[in-house]
Structure 1
């Protein structure tokens, strides 16, 4: 029982540090206020602030540079993706597992998006479909990538979205055949989102995944 209040204070400090980042308009690469300044602003002990910062650093969200201070890290500003791609994911089984996991995450995201996608999301997706009506293949490709990203974001679950981003990053680092949605696929997805037909949309995703596996 005595641990619970400490845990609550710890979580509250993390929330307030996040609020300071937003309030100060800090971006990746920017320097965080010092421990002393954070302690003064949050009205908590420096040891508590230090523990909160240490946890953020362990998660890879911030980094401490000796003699300079603490800085916000880029979400993908590390070499983990490239390292895994170079060593682990050269294995065919690992590549298959990655693709399978990515498919599961996308399917879960899309199932949530069917329920949560609002009119503004549908409007953005419709506009992207219109942008695909061109002979410029690069424009079509970029619009398809953006379409997929918006649908995944529409799930409203940030953790699932981050998993999608990281898994997609692994695939990209391997220079695999493009696994983003095609124009025709995007058009079908939009129709089923508008109809809120989760069953047909899940079936569509499964067929696409089977087709990708057949190519491999």
Structure 2
């Protein structure tokens, strides 16, 4: 868990239990001035991407929401009642993000009306790579507890998957995940979460809490 004010890290901690993380966040925001608005970024284990294939007869947002609900558990491992957002920028397959249903409540309890928006940290990495105009074969994002792999061809995502970071070497996990695509990690942009827990260190303004530019 990281909390920055401007471009300075003001709080850093590691928590393996969700309740501990929320309590830590609630304590940390007391360090901020009254009236502060929070941009909250969560890990790939909490917000997981997945793809929805073209479905004949799907006409509107309600249809797609119903389809997503039937796919989310099998595609992400999250509960079927997870919150789902869909990106209108890619029509086939549709790009979607699922968030564990308990986490929005956790954030509201810890931060209340301070939360201005809530999104996955890996989305920042996607935006950073897009802004560079790079046309590689996708993006791999290592955050605090997940590898988020987005494999692309010609600007279209062909795979969107979050892999938990357990005991396996993260780079070995990426190489294994890319075998079916006949790709090496060098073919993708790779972004890594910065695990430094020293308050007061500068924060990368373009991609907060990262080790630097996409490599």
Tell me the TM-score normalised to structure 2 length.
0.25
Flag the structure with higher strand content. 2
Flag the structure with higher helix content. 1
Bigger relative CO (Cα 8 Å, ≥ 6 apart): 2
